[in-house]
A and B are shown apart, each in its own frame.
Chain A
């Protein structure tokens, strides 16, 4: 559990972070989103004491981080950055083993852990163990970076634009990998990103920052339904917002029971998002689809009319709350 209470950070006369508060419960994924220079990286770096806050309290498991030894604190917090920061003179294995070795784990345990992580992050040991960072592609290097951050099995993972420098395809793959990882490991993650789609896709909790202050925070759906101002709205994609919201909603949560009418010709699996379902409707020129389960058995149906009506009522609820 990470909690920031009225935290500010000054660099000389410049106030980089201005009185921000948020908390990340254990096992949750929090994304700090904003343009570059908005103070999101500074915020992240205060959590593992790479910079000290000027005012306010940062609590880790209800204990002020100033009470921890900074070196020991950092060793129990995973840290991955955009430039990867891999040590170019160490091979992949030695890089991943950094923190376990600092913690003086026995050699066999370090070896076992490194191989486990490489396997986990789809880095075949035989192929990559003895490669140097210079011989890796951007995506591979970043995977090694994530493996290194996870090496000592920390409860907390801090990531500073980890996929920012990658091409869109590789970025997408690594986001998928990270989502799968989080579903299995349930780390407490704080991710800094300027990519709103990345944040929407991965995070449970979004903190939108601008010029050092928090503009809005909440769950992805809450933000999509009711952006606090035009800035957040534009970050969320303006007119695309409806589709992004649809992309976060599963069709199985919105389908109606099978009615008395004939089932529609178009079929979509119940794991699809509303966005994918809408796409199918547009493609098939059909206002109605049949939702099927993994065995291709119809389990419900969804019509465009119901979808629009429901979105309308949800919007209403969000306005009231």
Chain B
């Protein structure tokens, strides 16, 4: 037996075909994307039709060769196993992400003549696909390497830093950057409006949602009715709900001066806020209700038997045990509200949606992006932050106690 152990195993010398199918497909797809789609586009001014350029055309031999090299390495690493396969793949993915702005700088340098002040560089379809696929790669790598979500974010931070640095100082030819520089006041105002609307709507619906959930617990008979009403709100399309609120609010504001004085009117932030809260209530109430009901009866019985008063039972036992599921509701509500607020711009509520709809009206894609990208980032950040918080709080809850309930 000892002799057998001493012999080198055959597989140690000869590597079998053991690909990671996900990463292999992604790497090949990225190669195909770069070969087939346009990487950047150049337009002589803001609204003129842009001309697309392939990677070869945009960055010339050095850019194309570097991309081919990195993606080739990625394909190879994904296809054959090795001890450092996943860390190496992570490095290559990060490198690709960090190099994208430099490729754009190179393209701007090669394709745009310094004299043409209005000319601008657009991000082509290939780059969007590449970004999306690299994100998928990171997700897969995170799962394979069993990294905590926080570590991945920490790794993304320097890459985002590189992007920001490039955008702030050297990428002034990029349409998105030009759009931002042209209207950064409007952008910041829209951002603040957006955040304020989401913040107020989520706060209100949390307070209301928890209150309704507790009322439902007390008056069990009202449960079906309450959920039916909340479900009904959820089924109305958001635009229709904004429209439906227009008439009654306009009437109210005309009828009562006090309401008009605080800014209630048919269009603007009032109907937006009401609609946002109405939409947020269902996930909030449902999750709060489920969370409060899911608390282990044994723990509650023990709490009573130990001599906790009703308020102590709620604050010391029921609420903390319900918190993870409750936060899950808050997460869904917040992400949903961030997206819905964009639509609220249509009825004059302000927010980043304004930029999107203005951009659509002027067929200026970079302006649409200027509104859309921060919304995506906000939703992503809210989702991650609240998800992580919920997971942390769940720590003590992953027990037989909880499972038995």
Contact = CB atoms under 8 A, between A and B. Distances in A.
Interface stretch (B54-62, B125-133, B282-290, B394-402): B394-402
Interface in A119-136: 132-135
B83 interface: no
B396 A89 contact: yes
A97 B397 CA distance: 19
A164 B303 CA distance: 20
B382 interface: no
A148 B307 CA distance: 12
Interface in A69-114: 71-75, 79, 81, 83-91, 98-99, 102
Contacts of A72: 307
B16 interface: no
Contacts of B316: 87
B181 interface: no
Nearest to B309: A71
B25 to A, nearest CB: 39
B404 interface: yes
B401 A102 contact: no
A222 interface: no
Contact of B401 (A71, A79, A84): A84
A75 B306 contact: yes
A43 interface: no
A304 interface: no
B401 A88 contact: yes
Contacts of A138: 400
Interface string B300-329: 111111111100100011001100000000
Nearest to A69: B307
A89 B307 contact: no
A102 B302 contact: no
Pick the most buried of A72, A91, A133, A138: most chain B CB atoms within 10 A of its CB.
Answer: A133
B358 interface: no
B299 interface: yes
A50 interface: yes
A50 B401 contact: no
A85 B308 CA distance: 14
Nearest to A44: B305
A71 B304 CA distance: 8
B298 interface: yes
Contact of A88 (B305, B307, B402): B402
A290 interface: no
A134 B298 contact: no
Contact of A134 (B305, B306, B321, B402): B402
Given A88-B299, A88-B321, A83 B307 contact: no
A209 B298 CA distance: 24
A74 B304 contact: yes
Contact of B302 (A81, A132, A134): A81
Contacts of B307: 71-75, 99, 102
A98 B301 CA distance: 14
B296 interface: yes
Nearest to A90: B396
Nearest to A75: B307
B397 to A, nearest CB: 5
Interface string B366-405: 0000000000000000000000000000011111111010
B97 to A, nearest CB: 39
A72 B309 CA distance: 10
B201 to A, nearest CB: 29
A48 interface: yes
B360 to A, nearest CB: 48
Pick the most buried of B299, B312, B320: most chain A CB atoms within 10 A of its CB.
Answer: B299
A79 B399 contact: no
A82 B110 CA distance: 76
Interface in A243-278: none
A132 B399 contact: yes
A94 B312 CA distance: 15
Contacts of B308: 71, 102
A272 to B, nearest CB: 39
B397 A134 contact: yes
Contacts of A134: 396-402
Pick the most buried of A50, A72, A98: most chain B CB atoms within 10 A of its CB.
Answer: A98
Nearest to A95: B302
Contact of A83 (B303, B321, B395, B401): B401
A85 B302 contact: yes
B157 to A, nearest CB: 31
Interface string A140-166: 010000001000000000100000000
A142 to B, nearest CB: 12
B397 A83 contact: no
Interface string A178-193: 0000000000000000
A88 B396 contact: yes
A165 B404 CA distance: 12
Contacts of A83: 296, 298, 401, 404
Given A72-B307, A102-B308, A134-B396, A89 B320 contact: yes
Interface string B270-303: 0000000000000000000000000010111111
20 contacts: A50-B301, A72-B307, A74-B304, A83-B296, A84-B302, A84-B401, A86-B299, A87-B303, A88-B299, A88-B396, A89-B320, A89-B321, A98-B306, A132-B396, A134-B398, A134-B400, A134-B401, A134-B402, A135-B399, A138-B400
Given A83-B404, A90-B396, 6 more contacts: A48-B305, A85-B305, A87-B302, A102-B307, A135-B399, A158-B305
Interface of A: 48, 50, 71-75, 79, 81, 83-91, 98-99, 102, 132-135, 138, 141, 148, 158
Identify the 5 closest CB pairs spanning chains A and B, nearest first: A85-B302, A134-B399, A83-B298, A74-B307, A75-B307
